[in-house]
Structure 1
Amino acid sequence: MPGTLYLIPNTLGDTTALNHVIPEHVQALTAQLAHFVAENAKTARAFLKLVNAVHPLARPLQEIAITELNVNTKAEALAGLLAPLRAGHDVGLLSEAGVPAVADPGADLVRLAHQENIPVRPLVGPSSLLLAVMASGLSGQSFAFNGYLPTDAAARAKRLKELEMRSRAEKQTQLFIETPYRNGALLEALVAACQPGTLVCVATDISLPSETIRTHTAGQWKSALASGRAPDFHKKPTVFLFLAV
């Protein structure tokens, strides 16, 4: 009988407040696992040390197996990551931040687990995307996550206009993210491409003490940027959302 693949959420960056964002039962279950798949073994161990402070690990950290799955993992290597599950061991798929398999390479492993009839159990934890939708004031009835936009300025402007048309036609909130050091350039491109009345939300450092979430029209954001009142989001994880009204 195969083991269960547990999808384990991580904090969104605040390592001092584990109990505020990761439920106790998730921590307790995590502490019992001896096999993990994670984007980065070093940060996975750091997370397990935090868990250990509240729920002692079932075995020493150096005896816990952590296999990496990231953008460098070849497709043909995925099947091997399921070996402990086939042998009957439970495995935790641990996200680098937030929930696994959402804007995360773990989705491919989850799909393969389903193909092999391996049980998959998602555990409760923070998702920056859903938290941003909740706090934005934009439509939570229909929304779409678009990942990263093109880095080429012309292609990015074209894509933003396409998404704005879709947002207006379907009354759908559009979400996307950017490499944190490019946040400023993206917001400038966004307000330049969108109609002045389009609602734009910038959600930074969600769940951290430095969290800021602000929703204004594209026109208001454009005026703020022109007067030097840009958000404090340089090199900080940020979710961008807009809704054409």
Structure 2
Amino acid sequence: MKKILSTVFLVAATLSVSAQINLGKMTKAASKGVSALSFSNADAQKLAKEGVAYMDTHNKVAGAKDPYSIRLKKLFAKHQNEDGLPLNYKVYLVSDINAFACADGSVRVFSSLMDIMTDDELLAIIGHEIGHVKNEDSKDAVKSAYLRAAAMDAASASSGKIEALSQSQLGEFANSILDAKHSKKQESQADDYSYDFMKKHGYNVVGAYTAFKKLALLGGSAKATSFQKMMSSHPDSEKRAQNIKKRAEKDGVWKDPGEVTLPTTKLKK
């Protein structure tokens, strides 16, 4: 898979796909067709479901008895329907650090993210991703990814018809979803959603603060070139952490977590 933090929000993995499409042509076609295509929430959900199904078959998914799946289920069992959005969760057993949510309510968490984040931090991160879906940022990402994968120009987009994607196009579509970049405003709005999600359910909102502190540490890693490139479209992680701290102090729920560091061992629980 590729990037998100979307969703993510975090760093990227690489899908094994072989799309025989010219990326420059797709990008140009998408920019011409995106405003012409009538695209409903139902369209976004249907296409996202297809894209995620493709991703699930091209990544190693943790089984029901895997410790990662057990931990995620323990955390999110009560969130099968969050804020009117039906959700489904799976863990990808991959070496990269990421998590994402799609317009159909699919939430995918990478095992290496779970290795370095506490339960509260994971809750905050996935709350952020759910925020992108609820704010319809993910709908926009699916629309753009579809146009790129279909190499659709303005004329064909104006027909308003959503055509089925071929297998090679599905691969490009999946990658495009994960490559989607949200605006800094959208990221900040998703941060607010995450905080409100944590507060509403009685979780420790300081987990959102420490998650961003860890992202800031990851961004300074010598091996974080791809991460830094992907995060360039996001607000500064340290500033985001401080925004969470200010909200928590205002709400009277701030508790100083002390120095935040990246763990050297896996945080399996």
Q: With structure 1 as the length reference, what TM-score do the two structures score?
A: 0.32
| Structure number having the greater strand percentage | 1
Larger Rg: 1
Q: With structure 2 as the length reference, what TM-score do the two structures score?
A: 0.29
